[in-house]
Amino acid sequence: MTPAREMPPRGPLGTDELARLHAWWRACNYLAAGMIYLQDNPLLRRPLVPDDIKHRLLGHWGASPALSFVWTHLNRVIRRDDLDVIFLAGPGHGAPGVLGPVYLEGTYSAFYPEIGQDEAGLRRFLRQFSFPGQIGSHVTPETPGSIHEGGELGYSLAHAYGAVFDNPDLIAACVVGDGEAETGPLAAAWHSNKFLNPCRDGAVLPILSLNGYKIANPTVLARISEEELTALFTGYGYSPLMVCGSDPEAMHQLMAATLDEAIGRIREIQATARKDRRPDRPRWPMIVLRSPKGWTGPKEIGGHKAEGTWRSHQVPLGDVRDNPASLRQLEDWLRSYRPDEL
How confident is the model over 171-189, as pLDDT tens digits? Answer: 999 999 999 999 999 999 9
Q: Is residue 318 over pLDDT 70?
A: yes
Closest C-alpha to 205, from 154, 241, 257:
241
Alpha-carbon distance 4 to 2, whole Å?
A: 6
Q: Is the pLDDT of residue 4 over 70?
A: no
Higher pLDDT, 195 or 94: 195
Percent of the chain residues past pLDDT 70, beyond the cut: 96
Roughly what angle, to the nearest 10 degrees, separates helices 15-37 and 96-104?
120
pLDDT recorded at residue 171 = 98
Mean pLDDT of 90-105: 89
The chain-wide mean pLDDT, for the chain, equals: 92
Strands, E assignment, the chain? 84-89, 170-177, 203-210, 238-244, 284-290, 300-301, 304-305
pLDDT at residue 151, rounded to an integer: 66
Which residue would you say has higher pLDDT here, 187 or 142?
Answer: 187
Q: What is the pLDDT of residue 308?
A: 80
Of 294, 315, 311, which is closest to residue 303 (Cα–Cα)? Answer: 311
Count Cβ atoms below 10 Å from residue 81 Cβ, excluding itself. 13
Which pLDDT belongs to residue 2?
A: 37
Partners of 305 in the β-ladder = 300
- Would residue 213 be called left, alpha or beta, if left means φ above 0 and alpha means ψ between -120 and 50 degrees? beta
Report the C-alpha gap between 295 and 210 in whole angstroms: 12
How confident is the model at residue 285, as a pLDDT?
98
Q: What is the pLDDT of residues 263-311, one digit of tens each?
A: 999 999 999 999 998 878 899 999 999 999 999 999 999 999 988 888 8
pLDDT tens digits for range 102-111: 999 999 999 9
Q: Which residues contact 335 (CB under 8 A, 6 or more apart)?
A: 44
Radius of gyration for the alpha carbons in the chain, expressed in angstroms and rounded: 20
- Residue 65 burial by Cβ neighbours in a 10 Å radius (0-12, 13-18, 19+): buried
* For helices 15-37 and 119-128, angle between their N-to-C axes, nearest 10 degrees: 60
Tell the burial category of 339 from Cβ atoms under 10 Å away from its Cβ (0-12, 13-18, 19+). Answer: middle
